[in-house]
Amino acid sequence: MNIVVLISGRGSNLAALLEAKLPATVAAVISNKADAAGLALARAHGIPALVVAHRDYGSRAAFDAALAAAIDRHAPALVVLAGFMRILTPGFVGRYAGRLINIHPSLLPSFTGLDTHRRALEAGVKIHGCTVHFVTPELDHGPIIAQAAVPVLEDDTEVTLAARVLAEEHRILPQAVRWFAQGRLVIVDGRVRVADEL
């Protein structure tokens, strides 16, 4: 099974996927930023690393069309947003419906969007975490595949809290991809059920 991973930055979740020895092949890594450090990581593993720079396109729809063309060349069964910092059009999301997942650094539905760790600290929550979910046109919504929680400590900063959450991201994203590759994810009435191991 081929997967394509989309990134915008350092690629730490990509590294977690590559280290997990999944029953799937990362066929390509695509970034919207030419300076994304994760591209070098992909190349070091012999994986095609491509740039589709959003600034090169006059509209969100034009960028998404170019991105979809780059993805489709690798015929992926699954597209993984692993720190991909672009809002995707409904047309793009619909094209990959049921095979597009995202890792988000909060316990959705709380703290959608950006600056999740700062907002969690400001809100005074006692538990924070991360979510892997199927992507739908509504930002940071969609059926939840997996979540992991961490305690928010009295002396936490954005940096310390983010580090603990990231460690959990590195655990649950590969698990979610593994379940998908095994054909174990079933969506019933908008909720994800993980079927018994086949």
Q: What is the set of active-site residues?
A: 104
What CA–CA distance (Å, rounded) separates 132 from 185?
12
Distance of CA 46 to the CA centre of its chain: 21
Q: Are residues 169 and 179 in contact, defined by beta-carbon separation less than 8 angstroms? A: no
Q: Are residues 47 and 74 in contact, defined by beta-carbon separation less than 8 angstroms? A: no
DSSP string, 44-99: HTT--EEE--GGGSSSHHHHHHHHHHHHHTT--SEEEESS---PPPHHHHHHTTTS
Q: How many residues make up the chain in this entry?
A: 198
* CB-facing half-sphere around the CA of 150: CA atoms within 13 A: 24
What CA–CA distance (Å, rounded) separates 164 from 28?
28
What CA–CA distance (Å, rounded) separates 161 from 155?
10
Angle between helices 12-19 and 158-181 (to 10 degrees): 40
